[in-house]
Amino acid sequence: MMTRRQALAGLSASAASLNAGFARAADFYNGKTISIICGYNPGGGVDLGTRLIGENIGRFIPGSPTVIVQNMEGAGGLIAANHVYTKSAPDGLTLAVPGRDWVLKPLLNFPNARFDPLKFQYIGSTGAINIVAYVNAASGMREAMDMKAAKRKIIFGGLPGTSMNTAVPALLGQLGWQVEMIRGYDSTPRIIHAMEQKELDGIYTPDSSFVRRRDLIDSKSVIPLFQSDPVVPGLPTAASLVEAKDRALMELAHGQVSVGMPLVAPPGTPAALVEILRQAFMVMSKDAAFEAHARRVEEPVGAAISGADLEQKVRKLTANITPETVQAYARL
């Protein structure tokens, strides 16, 4: 039986032959199938963003391989990230979009995160995202500060554990706002449905989460109160709602916003294959058909982040994590 080391040596030798140019790359990918593992269930924003890439990138990879998306939901993307890190062959045929909020979790001491984020091969991202707090119009909340003086708890729903969509409402609750966080929902569409059923008041989520429920926004059934970045005119940022002493923790809660939804390959994927995939991603991001598709699913357009830049962003994010912020984050 071939050992992993022998397999890697063979892959490296194959990858070296691709350096002669994309014509040889076509030989490698011609007739092959690339699998992109999505860390969330079908129908949500991460799934739509993953399928956006899956339905387009094959046209820009020499040899035009078939690309399929496989859902491997669970633990906020950690199951997919762990799988790709520990089990997927580094052969240029397995990629992943674990989600939007997974990269830093090993460094935040999440016990079920079994990967080193700096060892993944970063292929690209469609761009940074904006996170928005939406509440039911029926809640009576019209501005962010209304939640600070509310006469009852404003209930936000979130995925299991601590993530971007749970940490920020939880932090506001800790700071004395009338906000309560209920975790454990299995998907963003389920949280939105619970809001419709008046089980919940709000959600803190990427703005693309309502791509299939624009009716709720257009009818003003849900109202935006604040956002992670100053994208929507007139809407305050989350950082502006807290005192200076709490902003480091607020920044950590938003840390991964800047990388969007990274497309990654397993550690050890040959450099020549990584470069082919990176180039394909960036060419794809400028394609008119891709941009039209991206607009339909409300993914960023014209703001793609290269694999090399993603790697640098992740290094910067990890360097800014301190033991004090980790301890504070664990209490959220």
**Is 171:242 a contact under the CB 8 Å cutoff?**
yes
278's tokens: 């990176």
CA angle 28, 32, 35 (to 5 degrees): 120
Q: What is the mean pLDDT of the chain?
A: 90
Residue 306 C-alpha from the chain's centroid: 15
**What is the C-alpha to C-alpha distance for residues 102 and 314, in angstroms, rounded to an integer?**
11
Kindly give, in sequence order, each residue whose CB lies less than 8 Å from that of residue 223, ignoring residues fewer than 6 positions away.
134, 135, 136, 137, 141, 142
Tracing tokens 């699998």 back to the chain, one arrives at 35
Q: Please report the pLDDT score of residue 325 as a whole number.
A: 83
Q: Which of 110, 79, 83 is nearest to 94 (CA)?
A: 83
Above 60 in pLDDT, residue 308?
A: yes
Q: Which of 171, 152, 310 is nearest to 247 (CA)?
A: 171
What is the SS3 assignment for 40-91?
Answer: CCCCCHHHHHHHHHHCCHHHHCCCCCEEEEEECCCHHHHHHHHHHHHCCCCC
Kindly give, in sequence order, each residue whose CB lies less than 8 Å from that of residue 13, ignoring residues fewer than 6 positions away.
none
Half-sphere exposure of 141 (CA within 13 A, CB side): 29
Q: Please report the pLDDT score of residue 7 as a whole number.
A: 42
Above 50 in pLDDT, residue 8?
A: no
Q: Please report the pLDDT score of residue 4 as a whole number.
A: 45
- pLDDT band at 164; cut points 50, 70, 90: confident
Q: Pairing state of beta strands 33-38 and 66-71?
A: parallel
State pTM to two decimals.
0.82
- pLDDT band at 322; cut points 50, 70, 90: confident
Question: Which has the higher per-residue pLDDT, 224 or 252?
Answer: 224
**Is 166:211 a contact under the CB 8 Å cutoff?**
no
**What is the C-alpha to C-alpha distance for residues 279 and 276, in angstroms, rounded to an integer?**
5
Poorest-pLDDT segment among 17-21, 207-211, 319-323: 17-21
The CA-based diameter of the chain, rounded to the nearest angstrom, is 68
Poorest-pLDDT segment among 87-91, 151-155, 190-194, 246-250: 246-250
Domains of the chain: 4-128+260-330 (3.40.190.150), 131-255 (3.40.190.10)
Q: Please report the pLDDT score of residue 1 as a whole number.
A: 45
Above 50 in pLDDT, residue 18?
A: no
The sheet with strand 305-306 has its strands ordered as 66-71, 33-38, 94-97, 263-265, 121-125, 305-306
Question: In this structure, what is the dihedral angle of CA atoms 51, 52, 54, 56, given to the nearest 10 degrees?
Answer: 150
How much is the average pLDDT of 103-132? 93
331's tokens: 């209490």
Q: Where are the alpha helices (DSSP H) in 235-306?
A: 247-253, 271-285, 288-296
Q: Please report the pLDDT score of residue 241 as a whole number.
A: 96
